[in-house]
Structure 1
Amino acid sequence: MTTNTLNGEAAPTRRHQRDATVVLLGLLALDLPAAHWEVDANPYQARLSGMASGFEPAARTDVVRAWAARLGVEPAYRSEGPGTSGFFEAIATISDVHIRVWTVLTGGA
């Protein structure tokens, strides 16, 4: 069996994946709009990324706003500059797991 190990960092990565999955299970039990979730972890941090997709832009921002309210944070619009697409996102941390719920927008929220 081959182990994906870089400098012995596989064990911390697996621990972060487990931590993120436990937090995700708790989030999925909440009565909130659906998002497409991804679990990401490295030896230094556990991360969850929930993308609101498959809706009209206004509905996608509503999804992010609902998650932001539950996570106790203010959503924000971030872009690379004028005339470019940007992200409407809510960022929080639960049990040392970095959580980002987001959507792509072509204009400000």
Structure 2
Amino acid sequence: MHFEHLVDKWALLVVIALTGHPTRFNQLGRAIGGVFQNGLSQAPRRLERDGVVCRVVIATAPVAVEYSLTALGRTPADAITPFATWAVIHADAVSSARLRHDADSP
């Protein structure tokens, strides 16, 4: 089995961002933040190929693309969500620990 796409940094962020609702491409970029355009366009396509993400082209002017998790994609999302929640709750504590560590390092 090939899991390299699911453990890629951007792929995990895409799965977390898509949890619970379909999201358009630009919204996905805003939700993730700090992602390079190349990474943002490649991660959902790789996940689509793996059957984790569904990509729908919406015939509007201009054309819009919407991504959502498939049933298969919701499975890792269920496993990742508790960690993502922990990360959000403890982000300030982690930042403080990093600052203390960096201040103590030569």
Same fold, TM-score > 0.5, yes or no: no
Structure with greater strand share of residues:
1
Structure with greater helix share of residues:
2
Shorter-chain TM-score bucket reads 0.3 to 0.5
TM-score w.r.t. structure 1 length? 0.33
